[in-house]
Structure 1
Amino acid sequence: MRECSLHGVFSISLFPSIPSAVELAKLLCDRVTVSKFDVVSYLKAPELITTFDEHRVSPNFKFGVLYQRDGQLTEEDILGNNQESQEFKDFLSVLGGTVQLHGFTGFRGGLDVCHGQTGTEAIFTSFHGRDIMFHVSTKLPFTESDPQQLQRKRHIGNDIVAVVFQEGQTPFFSDLVKSHFLHCFLVVRRIQREEDGEGAAYQVCVTAREDVPPFGPVLPDPPIFTDLREFLLTKLINAEISCCKAQQFRRLELRTRSSLLDNLKAELTNRSQVMMGDPLQSVVSSSEGVRGVPEGSGGFIENFKVKCLIPNKDLGSCLTQSYCMFHLLLYACVFREQSECAVTPLRPSAGRERPLAAHCRSPR
């Protein structure tokens, strides 16, 4: 569907007979109005469909990190910080490790790793198979003559989620940083674990735009952590995934998905027609240079006949090739509803015919 992908599991006991593809589709979604589905006869179709279905799934994330000192209430003040306190450095070590950007080969999150135009170092980590790059405001280039620090805001303002590390008791307001993309802030403050005691803990609060759906893990009560890393990184990843469902990103995603779906349909239709030997489509595909389709190809069926009927062919080689093509044909036939596919009998060059015929009928 253009809006989303639907998945379902049905018990075979629900049906008096094996259902058709249309019946299953309508059972899954009552908005389906098609009367039939076209046959897809392309062996790599599952890979193409999976790629389309997972086009939004990314193992990489990038988040902004802002440093708010006590008394700072404007965007200019926050983005103008250059010095890092020891508390802020300790917090950055919770997020990840410091990496040199020059020559960095991992996920760079839009940072320059060749010419140093986005600073010399950054905070990076890998978390449960996901690479995360942090755009730390104090590590991005500082321009003395620019009070807005556009070099810094260009990266952090294009992130979807940002972390704000606070010092002191000055509150943070989500509208301090003007951005069309930032939809969620995780605000972290370091506090003493116990009164007059040693050690420290972190207090966390979350603010997001109204159209961002709730996301976990849920903040405990009170929201204080002595071991912050696991919770914070999980919360950041889930925050971005949830923010993508907000109205602004939803519209962009719908346009992208619709375009990709049209391209997928066109490619599957084209390759299926070439596979089954559509004369016109074969000519068009050859002229356009479709990948994996030799010029002048007559399609799978015609090539199969040629392989089986070619004279002076070694019997063992012919049998091996026919066996492989036979299984490919079965794969294609299993998707053809209410149809019958027959393999042309093998005619070896030895003179005596040895028919190798198979029929594949889909259930009615």
Structure 2
Amino acid sequence: MAHPNRSGASPRAACPQELIEHILGKTDSADKETLQACALVARSFRPASQKLIFSDLTIPSSGRDSIIALQRLADVLSASPHLALYIRALHLVQPGFYELCAWMRSNILPAVLSVFTRLESLHIRLYNWDYLHSKCEQAIYALITRSSLSSIEIKEARFQTNARLLSLLRCLPASLESASFLNVFSENSSRDDPNSASAELRLTSLHLDTYAPALFHWAIRTVDLNCLRHLHTMVEDNTIDVVQELLDGAVYVETYHLSFGSIYSHDESPVLEKMQGLKTLEISVSLGWDEIEVEGQDRHNPLNDAMRALDTAPHTVEHFVLNLNIWNPDQLFHFMGSASFEHLEHRSTLRDVVVRIVFRHDCSPALQHGIRYVEEVFCQLYKRGMLTVVAVRSEDN
């Protein structure tokens, strides 16, 4: 009996679509070139490749062709509207304070942002919000109100008044689970009208690494602190009271990162005793010779601030991380020699202590010397296998 395939060619095996999507799912969504090549392999590869290509999008931020690129994106989304439904994470980035982007005043941006109806994560890094065209700003505010949004990050932002900052905060949707405000600054630091509060937010994660006291007041009034499980705050001389008020209400927080401002010189440190759910505590301090010095007294040692805060933490803490930001790790002994760490050994619930040395002075011998010195200071913890020293090079390098 004759074989039905008279040409002698091997029959083409069909690959299950689920397997194709599984394989492509292993590709890094940031590797756009590979994903674009995959989209051209076969028709069955196209949908899965496009989902990954458009899942994480950055609006063109610099270069002479930024408007051209933005217009090209608008044309693509207009011709294929379904691609906008794939966009889950969006990054709006201004490359530098003095590099004002043409797209920030473009009429194209509002039209592009309006089609992102399934956005889940929004990251905005705009130094100068005042440069935004009013229609662009309105489009961003409309984007923030999306009920699909679960995470937002505002970074390196400068607002002329609290009113402008608070107008943005009032747009945050009830669906939000995580909010980060990093290095946000408002010129007018006076407290806002309490009657202008936003709807209550049930955040599980809140990051306030900011110089704007208004953000702390907003969080205390707007965020359901009983829902918080992860918290990160910076503390400065002018925010110690409001940070303390926030901590007193965050009783169920499990992970807390306390960052001391580089010019912190307050006599008191935050008290953590009411955070009865706390399991992981991370404290960051900067060690430098430009610390505040009072004539006739010893130089201010930021490590003492960190240890005082740790001493107030409940005995539920199982993991402790200490980040030491220092110019030269060879100088650690100048600060650690006058700080007390004895109470660490008496915390029976502690399982591990991690010390990270974040440095700028690129000198391997100094780093090794700094690590050995840290091990000597925490000798007993080191012998018990509880101490891990991790060296981290500063981002500046």
How would you bin the TM-score normalised by the shorter chain?
A: under 0.3
Q: Which has the higher contact order (CA 8 A, sep 6+)?
A: 1
Return the index of the structure with the highest Cα Rg. Answer: 1
